[in-house]
């Protein structure tokens, strides 16, 4: 593990601030995305506000000085919102050059694109990054870089909280489903197999959609819209602990120097859970040593650089067998 220099920390903070402004500007500009137009019905013009990309919307009234003023206000507001977003984007592009020069860029491009698409769709709060890719969140939060051998991974695991209403998530996906969102990040994403939980792109980078076990009483598939008829979430034992634990939100930096919003489990829970995984007889023997190495790396970062997270506090969301792994984290 290598701590960030003061210069790297400065530019990381600058990137976080810029990206927060970018997100606000992006959300504001998005309110104008569907447009407003005149529509003729039986020789009478009406002002029509589109509400989706398929042309559905509502009438705001017949053409009149009032509706003409409403259209002008909308047009000017959209132009101003787009200009503000353009200016902030230019600032981020410039900041990205500094980030690359300072070697702050860590998150793989494809992961960054997926996470930014989730954020733009308003779904950042619904999905938690778990597994190896979560390490980038802990790096940013702790001001350090882990050894690259701990970070290399050909997939990203997205944990969805199935307690939330699927319809609310589906509405934000504008009818395209989660697979449609992945295709916005990389058009080559496709389901790996029918009714599978995994999508892969042409480079064989995989996105796994997972949920915590829901028990025998729930057998309905978790999917998000018609385009997800072949992409459903897989139930994985043990994830209930990560689902219930507190989360941290941070901004990491991708390989191109661009900021990436990433939500990850409490680092203590991650470390303990990874240590627990490393001791399971059912765990792939190839993965177990890496699980333990990642667990210890995160635990040391927490102990040395993140004093606000104390291992002395009991994480009640974790099973006793997981909490019992604490002594394993600081051996050697």
Residue 167's pLDDT band, with cuts at 50, 70 and 90, is low
Least confident of 63-67, 106-110, 174-178: 174-178
Q: Are residues 52 and 70 in the same domain?
A: yes
> pLDDT over 70 for what percent of the chain?
92
Q: Are residues 143 and 270 in the same domain?
A: yes
Instruction: Say what the pLDDT of residue 317 is.
Output: 64
Instruction: Say what the pLDDT of residue 231 is.
Output: 77
Q: Are residues 146 and 272 in the same domain?
A: yes
Q: Are residues 146 and 127 in the same domain?
A: yes
Q: Are residues 132 and 87 in the same domain?
A: no
pLDDT higher than 90, residue 22: yes
Q: Which residues form the domain of 172?
A: 109-329
Residue where a domain terminates, one of 55, 74, 101: 101
* pLDDT greater at residue 131 or residue 326: 131
Mean pLDDT of the chain: 89
Residue where a domain terminates, one of 101, 125, 158: 101
Average pLDDT over residues 155-180: 80
Q: Are residues 16 and 143 in the same domain?
A: no
Instruction: Say what the pLDDT of residue 157 is.
Output: 94
Instruction: Say what the pLDDT of residue 169 is.
Output: 74
Q: Are residues 34 and 118 in the same domain?
A: no
Rounded to 5 degrees, φ, ψ at 52 are -155, 175
Instruction: Say what the pLDDT of residue 270 is.
Output: 93
Q: Are residues 190 and 277 in the same domain?
A: yes
pLDDT higher than 60, residue 229: no
pLDDT higher than 90, residue 202: yes
Q: Are residues 113 and 94 in the same domain?
A: no
Residue where a domain terminates, one of 43, 74, 101: 101
Number of domains in the chain: 2
Residues 199/192, Cβ–Cβ less than 8 Å: yes
């Amino acid at each position: 593990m290598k701590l960030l220099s003061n210069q790297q920390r400065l530019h990381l903070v600058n990137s976080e601030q810029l990206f927060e402004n970018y997100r606000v500007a992006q959300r504001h500009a998005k309110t104008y995305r569907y447009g407003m137009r005149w529509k003729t019905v039986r020789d009478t013009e009406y002002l029509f506000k589109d509400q989706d990309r398929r042309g559905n919307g509502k009438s705001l009234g017949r053409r009149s000085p009032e509706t003409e003023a409403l259209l002008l206000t909308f047009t000017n507001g959209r132009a101003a919102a787009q200009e503000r977003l353009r200016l902030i984007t230019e600032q981020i592009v410039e900041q990205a050059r500094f980030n690359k020069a300072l070697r702050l860029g860590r998150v793989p491009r494809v992961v960054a694109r997926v996470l930014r698409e989730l954020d733009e769709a308003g779904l950042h709060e619904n999905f938690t990054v778990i597994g190896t890719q979560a390490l980038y969140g802990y790096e940013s939060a702790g001001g350090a870089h882990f050894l690259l051998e701990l970070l290399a991974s050909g997939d990203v695991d997205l944990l969805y909280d199935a307690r939330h209403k699927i319809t609310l998530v589906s509405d934000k996906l504008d009818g395209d489903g989660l697979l449609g969102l992945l295709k916005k990040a990389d058009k080559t994403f496709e389901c790996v197999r029918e009714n599978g939980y995994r999508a892969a792109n042409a480079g064989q980078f995989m996105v796994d959609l997972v949920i915590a076990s829901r028990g025998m009483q729930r057998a309905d598939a978790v999917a998000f819209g018609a385009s997800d008829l072949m992409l459903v979430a897989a139930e994985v034992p043990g994830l209930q602990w990560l689902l219930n634990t507190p989360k941290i939100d941070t901004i990491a930096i991708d390989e191109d120097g661009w900021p990436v919003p990433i939500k990850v489990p409490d680092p203590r829970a991650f470390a303990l859970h990874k240590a627990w995984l490393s001791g399971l007889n059912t765990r792939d023997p190839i993965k177990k040593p890496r699980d333990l190495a990642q667990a210890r790396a995160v635990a040391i970062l927490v102990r040395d650089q993140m004093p606000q997270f104390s291992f002395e506090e009991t994480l009640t969301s974790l099973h006793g067998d997981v909490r019992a792994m604490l002594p394993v984290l600081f051996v050697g």
